[in-house]
Structure 1
Amino acid sequence: MARFFLIFAALFVALASGASAQTARLTQGWPDTDFSKTTVDLSEIRSGGPGKDGIPAVDSPSFLKAADERRIGDREPVLTVEINGQKPRAYPIRYFMVHEIVNDVIGGIPVAVTFCPLCNSGVTFDRRVAGRTLSFGVSGNLRNSDMVMYDRQTESWWQQAVGEAIVGDLAGRKLKQIPSWMESWAAFKARNPDGLVLNAPRRNFNYGANPYVNYDSSTRPFLYDGALPPNGIDPMARVIRVGNRAWPMERLRREKMIREHGVELSWQGEQASALDSRTINDGRSVGSVRVRDGQGRDIVHDVMFAFAFHAFYPNGRWH
């Protein structure tokens, strides 16, 4: 019995030392982050490889008229943001593969347009919190395989998929989400010939390439050790998240229109997966969706991988 307790004690010390070392690595280079304030266990956060700002956010975006853009393939996905009274804006996913965050201002509203390739999560946020306008960068860390952003004003860490601060002075605060959706570049151009499209943030850079070849047909997500979805649901299947509910994209492909729980999901045709072929425009076809309420107004949603929905909405409803 005594030997058992000695072995147990040694194992506990080793685990504690490992957790302590991991925490020490995470906190290096973040002298202005208050790690005494967290809403999650720091052991859930891990390095994704690049360090702080190793993935450079876009802070001074410029735009072209949609009719003047010649580099983007018709099948390539774009994140669309339409704010009343403003020209619609398209943010091509080809740029998010390199930058992941665009800090922008639309009609006086400061926004952060974000995309995490590992979760296929594309979400747009209002950057104002408690009377302060924040600007966001990429921390280089992941939680549940999802990007951890940080704000440059307090260096608090934010979970991209849900827009919540999880570490630092602003821990527990949430960003307001703004309706946006993913569609093909051809669909955006056809609907918005006078719309705007994000210009290439860097000159002569090989945008349009996919560094995550065949990722969305892999059997497991990258750097994820959480629970997988229930009932044998493919963890890499795309699901349409509205609040804490999820509808499979494949169901929408079959039915074309779903009206449930005050939500209308309408099939909008195909677009290329950004996470399949080496060239984004050559990616296999995945569906596009528009999500509206009963009055025809666009509402906040996301098209994310099933594992990510289950990770961040463990008590969510599957349809």
Structure 2
Amino acid sequence: MSARRGLVIAALSLILVGSNSATVAGQVESWAREGWKTDFSRTLVDFDEVMSGGPPRDGIPPIDDPIFISAHDVTGIDGREPVIQFPLEGDSRAYPLRVLTWHEIVNDEIDGQPVAVTYCPLCNAAIVFDRRADGKTLSFGTTGKLRHSDLIMYDRSTESWWQQFSGEAIIGELVGTELSMLPSRIVSFEDFLSAHPDGPVLVPNDPSARPYGSNPYQSYDTAQRPFLFRGELPPDIPAMAHVVVVETDSEPIIVSLNRLRQSPLKLRGYSLSYETGVASALDTATISDGRDIGSVRVTRDGKDVVHNLTFAFVAHVFHPGVAIIDADTN
């Protein structure tokens, strides 16, 4: 057992004997009634930070057997629509947000590498993970729970709960284990098609199962406050402002898209640039009609690196001590 895990369990012991022990016990009992086999004696977070997002476990169903067709054969998707491009070299695939909005997780395998392609609409966070952790290849589903408005995933091997934004197991047997994030980018379908005309594009297993291409979160990214969020909002920048978070070896770099629209930026060896032509998936009722919010590219030494496009409130709650570089910041 790692020192960190030992501290986690010790900390939980203090929680259980503290003044809120009845509340914690009641919460665990409630989750157990839902059928969870999770080891709730191990946690990194306070249970009162976890809330229901509405749907039950896998009520937002992950895709376990993804189907792809060549980009040049895809119909019904507008050129401006956002897709997750992964990998960024070699056999690039496109995972349209019109599909991920309704499924949130794709358990896939590329050239023998098991990956989880994830998207949390409430955080506008699209992140690709290596599914191998702690000596196991994991398969992920949706818990139906949120923490800080962010998707909580679970692995089917141990039913540990994982924070999508950080890729860390926050509750359960694997608590403290972190998934490796893999470089990916949000690009327009048009750009993907131009660069990879034969590239595989994810399509729904059953096109009639959901209203693919519609946005159930209409006007969300222009709202005043995030949905199902109890935390502190960031100072000096709108909660729903789009930002890019670059995970570095030390403190993350967080820059607003408004700042990058002014000019490219170089910080600590990282190059950040803004690109137009990508529609918001969280604006209008139909994704293809969404306003142009663009996207970013982040490189170091000419190579694409892990980054995450998200909202300012998300960056602030997960990295509370890191300043967001905005348009008015030199």
Q: TM-score of the superposition, structure 1-length normalised?
A: 0.91
Match of 2:260 in 1: 252
Q: Does 1:101 align with 2:105?
A: yes
Match of 2:45 among 17, 40, 46: 40
Dislocated runs of 4+, deviation >3 Å: 15-24
Kindly indicate whether the alpha-carbon contact (under 8 Å) linking 1:26 and 1:46 is maintained by their aligned counterparts in 2: no
Q: Does 1:285 align with 2:289?
A: no
> For 1:83 and 1:210, how far apart are their aligned partners in 2?
27
- RMSD of the TM alignment (CA)? 1.6
What is the correspondence of 1:44-193 to structure 2 with a 5 Å cutoff?
44-82=49-87, 84=89, 86-193=90-197
Kindly indicate whether the alpha-carbon contact (under 8 Å) linking 2:154 and 2:162 is maintained by their aligned counterparts in 1: yes
Structure 2: tracts of 5 or more residues without a match = 1-17, 326-330
The residue identity in structure 2 corresponding to 1:224 is F
Call closer, same or farther: CA 1:27–1:46 in 2, change over 3 Å: farther
Q: Does 1:224 align with 2:258?
A: no
Match of 2:277 in 1: 270
What is the correspondence of 1:184-223 to structure 2 with a 5 Å cutoff?
184-205=188-209, 206-223=211-228
> For 2:220 and 2:88, how far apart are their aligned partners in 1?
32
> For 1:65 and 1:220, how far apart are their aligned partners in 2?
39
Secondary structure of the residue aligned to 2:44 is: coil
Q: TM-score of the superposition, structure 2-length normalised?
A: 0.88
> For 2:101 and 2:145, how far apart are their aligned partners in 1?
16
Q: Deviations over 1:258-286 (max 9, x none)?
A: 11111111222221100010000001110
Q: Deviations over 1:18-45 (max 9, x none)?
A: 6654443334324421000001111110
Q: Deviations over 1:37-94 (max 9, x none)?
A: 001111110110001111100001011111000121111100010254x411000001
> For 1:280 and 1:28, how far apart are their aligned partners in 2?
38
Match of 1:25 among 23, 27, 30: 30
The residue identity in structure 2 corresponding to 1:211 is P
> For 1:284 and 1:184, how far apart are their aligned partners in 2?
13
Match of 1:4 in 2: none
What is the correspondence of 1:308-319 to structure 2 with a 5 Å cutoff?
308-319=314-325
Larger Cα-atom Rg: 1
Kindly indicate whether the alpha-carbon contact (under 8 Å) linking 1:147 and 1:160 is maintained by their aligned counterparts in 2: yes
The residue identity in structure 1 corresponding to 2:183 is P
Structure 1: tracts of 5 or more residues without a match = 1-11
Secondary structure of the residue aligned to 1:311 is: helix
